[in-house]
Amino acid sequence: MVSTKKTKKTHESINNRLALVMKSGKYTLGYKTVLRTLRSSKAKLIIIANNCPPLRKSEIEYYAMLAKVGVHHFNGNNVDLGTACGKYYRVCCLSIIDPGDSDIIKSMPGSSETPLHGWWCIYRSNPLLV
Protein backbone atom coordinates (compact mmCIF):
# COMPACT_ATOMS: atom_id res chain seq x y z
CA MET A 1 0.00 0.00 0.00
CA VAL A 2 2.64 2.46 1.07
CA SER A 3 4.84 1.82 -1.95
CA THR A 4 2.07 2.38 -4.51
CA LYS A 5 1.15 5.61 -2.79
CA LYS A 6 4.77 6.74 -2.88
CA THR A 7 5.23 6.00 -6.58
CA LYS A 8 2.01 7.82 -7.41
CA LYS A 9 3.21 10.89 -5.55
CA THR A 10 6.63 10.97 -7.23
CA HIS A 11 4.99 10.28 -10.57
CA GLU A 12 2.76 13.29 -10.16
CA SER A 13 5.74 15.39 -9.18
CA ILE A 14 7.58 14.33 -12.35
CA ASN A 15 4.55 15.40 -14.35
CA ASN A 16 4.49 18.74 -12.56
CA ARG A 17 8.17 19.29 -13.18
CA LEU A 18 7.78 18.32 -16.80
CA ALA A 19 4.91 20.78 -17.21
CA LEU A 20 7.12 23.51 -15.80
CA VAL A 21 9.90 22.62 -18.25
CA MET A 22 7.43 22.75 -21.12
CA LYS A 23 6.39 26.20 -20.03
CA SER A 24 9.70 27.79 -19.14
CA GLY A 25 12.49 25.68 -20.51
CA LYS A 26 13.89 24.28 -23.72
CA TYR A 27 13.31 20.72 -24.83
CA THR A 28 13.04 18.57 -27.93
CA LEU A 29 10.69 15.70 -28.55
CA GLY A 30 11.39 12.65 -30.61
CA TYR A 31 14.10 10.08 -31.21
CA LYS A 32 16.00 11.87 -33.97
CA THR A 33 16.32 15.13 -32.09
CA VAL A 34 17.19 13.32 -28.85
CA LEU A 35 20.19 11.72 -30.56
CA ARG A 36 21.10 15.04 -32.11
CA THR A 37 21.11 16.82 -28.75
CA LEU A 38 23.12 14.00 -27.21
CA ARG A 39 25.75 14.21 -29.95
CA SER A 40 26.07 17.97 -29.62
CA SER A 41 26.16 17.64 -25.80
CA LYS A 42 23.22 20.01 -25.38
CA ALA A 43 21.00 17.53 -23.55
CA LYS A 44 20.76 17.68 -19.78
CA LEU A 45 18.22 14.94 -19.16
CA ILE A 46 16.56 12.31 -21.33
CA ILE A 47 13.14 10.88 -20.59
CA ILE A 48 12.04 7.64 -22.24
CA ALA A 49 8.54 6.18 -22.22
CA ASN A 50 8.09 2.64 -20.95
CA ASN A 51 6.85 1.19 -24.26
CA CYS A 52 9.85 2.40 -26.19
CA PRO A 53 11.26 -0.46 -28.30
CA PRO A 54 14.09 -2.11 -26.34
CA LEU A 55 16.70 -1.62 -29.08
CA ARG A 56 15.93 2.07 -29.30
CA LYS A 57 15.94 2.35 -25.51
CA SER A 58 19.35 0.68 -25.30
CA GLU A 59 20.71 2.92 -28.02
CA ILE A 60 19.58 6.09 -26.28
CA GLU A 61 20.95 4.82 -22.96
CA TYR A 62 24.30 4.06 -24.59
CA TYR A 63 24.55 7.51 -26.13
CA ALA A 64 23.59 9.01 -22.78
CA MET A 65 26.28 6.94 -21.07
CA LEU A 66 28.88 8.29 -23.50
CA ALA A 67 27.64 11.83 -23.01
CA LYS A 68 27.30 11.39 -19.22
CA VAL A 69 23.68 12.51 -19.28
CA GLY A 70 21.00 11.13 -16.99
CA VAL A 71 18.16 9.04 -18.34
CA HIS A 72 14.78 8.82 -16.67
CA HIS A 73 12.38 6.01 -17.49
CA PHE A 74 8.97 7.57 -17.44
CA ASN A 75 6.30 5.61 -15.65
CA GLY A 76 3.86 5.56 -18.53
CA ASN A 77 3.76 4.87 -22.23
CA ASN A 78 4.26 7.24 -25.11
CA VAL A 79 0.64 8.35 -25.01
CA ASP A 80 1.00 9.31 -21.34
CA LEU A 81 4.30 11.05 -21.94
CA GLY A 82 2.76 13.07 -24.76
CA THR A 83 -0.06 14.08 -22.46
CA ALA A 84 2.40 14.96 -19.70
CA CYS A 85 4.13 17.27 -22.16
CA GLY A 86 0.83 18.89 -22.95
CA LYS A 87 0.85 17.64 -26.53
CA TYR A 88 -1.88 15.91 -28.45
CA TYR A 89 0.51 13.38 -30.00
CA ARG A 90 2.57 10.48 -28.69
CA VAL A 91 6.08 11.15 -27.43
CA CYS A 92 8.41 8.21 -26.98
CA CYS A 93 11.50 10.07 -25.86
CA LEU A 94 12.33 13.63 -25.09
CA SER A 95 15.42 15.59 -24.26
CA ILE A 96 15.58 18.54 -21.90
CA ILE A 97 18.08 21.12 -23.04
CA ASP A 98 17.39 23.88 -20.55
CA PRO A 99 15.17 23.20 -17.54
CA GLY A 100 14.09 26.83 -17.08
CA ASP A 101 12.53 27.28 -13.65
CA SER A 102 12.14 23.58 -13.00
CA ASP A 103 14.33 21.55 -10.68
CA ILE A 104 13.85 18.37 -12.69
CA ILE A 105 17.56 17.94 -13.30
CA LYS A 106 18.55 18.37 -9.67
CA SER A 107 15.95 15.99 -8.33
CA MET A 108 16.24 13.31 -10.96
CA PRO A 109 19.80 11.92 -10.91
CA GLY A 110 18.89 9.19 -8.43
CA SER A 111 16.35 7.76 -10.82
CA SER A 112 18.79 7.30 -13.66
CA GLU A 113 19.85 3.89 -12.38
CA THR A 114 19.63 2.16 -15.71
CA PRO A 115 20.99 -1.29 -16.44
CA LEU A 116 23.91 0.49 -18.02
CA HIS A 117 24.76 2.12 -14.73
CA GLY A 118 27.31 -0.59 -14.11
CA TRP A 119 28.87 0.19 -17.47
CA TRP A 120 28.93 3.84 -16.64
CA CYS A 121 30.70 3.29 -13.34
CA ILE A 122 33.37 1.28 -15.10
CA TYR A 123 33.61 3.87 -17.84
CA ARG A 124 33.97 6.77 -15.47
CA SER A 125 36.40 5.10 -13.16
CA ASN A 126 38.69 4.02 -15.97
CA PRO A 127 40.92 6.94 -17.00
CA LEU A 128 41.88 5.20 -20.23
CA LEU A 129 38.37 5.19 -21.60
CA VAL A 130 37.44 8.79 -21.00
Quote the least distance from Cβ 67 to other proteins, whole Å. 5
Closest CA to 41 of 69, 65, 21: 69
Closest CA to 106 of 17, 10, 37: 17
35 vs 84 by CB, closer to other proteins = 35
Count of residues that interact with other proteins, criterion CB under 8 A: 18
34 vs 84 by CB, closer to other proteins = 34
97 interacts with other proteins by CB under 8 A:
no
CB 90 within 8 A of CB 82: yes
Please state at what angle helix 54-67 crosses helix 31-39, rounded to 10 degrees: 20
Query: Segment 16-75, which members bind other proteins (CB under 8 A)?
Result: 32, 35-36, 39-41, 43-44, 59, 63, 65-69
Give the neighbor-by-neighbor strand order of the sheet with 45-48.
26-29, 93-98, 45-48, 70-73
43 vs 48 by CB, closer to other proteins = 43
Q: Which of 30, 83, 90, 123 binds other proteins (CB under 8 A)?
A: 123
Spatial separation of the C-alpha atoms in residues 33 and 45, rounded to whole Å: 13
Interface with other proteins (CB under 8 A): 32, 35-36, 39-41, 43-44, 59, 63, 65-69, 119, 123, 129
